[in-house]
Amino acid sequence: MSIKKYKFNYYLKVNINKPLIFLLHGFMGNINEFDEAIKLLGEDFSSLTLDLPGHGKTQVLGGDQYYKIELTAQAIINLLDELKIDKCHLIGYSMGGRLAL
């Protein structure tokens, strides 16, 4: 999905009527960072993971300024809006934790 200057590579696993956990990986990580946790939580939760800009298959379609935390955080909010996600549990570590804040 392309959100302005970002083309996010993401994976959304929906379990009907289950709360959503949104997992943000750390620096040098990728979309697969939480695969084991998702397997363990799979029956009780829906999950959303993505490759952060500069990692995995997510593409930044603009200049270097689009790697800044503030612009990346806003792009992630825009992605949640596009996916019509208005409520989720947010988990992040390292760079993903900074974005979560």
State pLDDT tens for residues 45-97.
999 999 999 999 999 998 999 999 999 999 999 999 999 999 999 999 999 99
Domain definitions of the chain by residue range: 2-95
The pLDDT value recorded for residue 45 is 97
Report residue 14: phi and psi, to 5°. Answer: -105, 125
Band of pLDDT at residue 42, cut at 50, 70 and 90: confident
Q: 0.85 exceeded by the pTM?
A: yes
C-alpha distances (whole Å) from 33 to each of 16, 24, 57, 76 are 24, 9, 14, 18
Q: What is the pLDDT of residue 1?
A: 55
**Distance between CA atoms of 46 and 84, rounded to whole angstroms?**
14
Please, what CATH class does the domain formed by 2-95 belong to? alpha beta
Q: What's residue 8's pLDDT?
A: 96
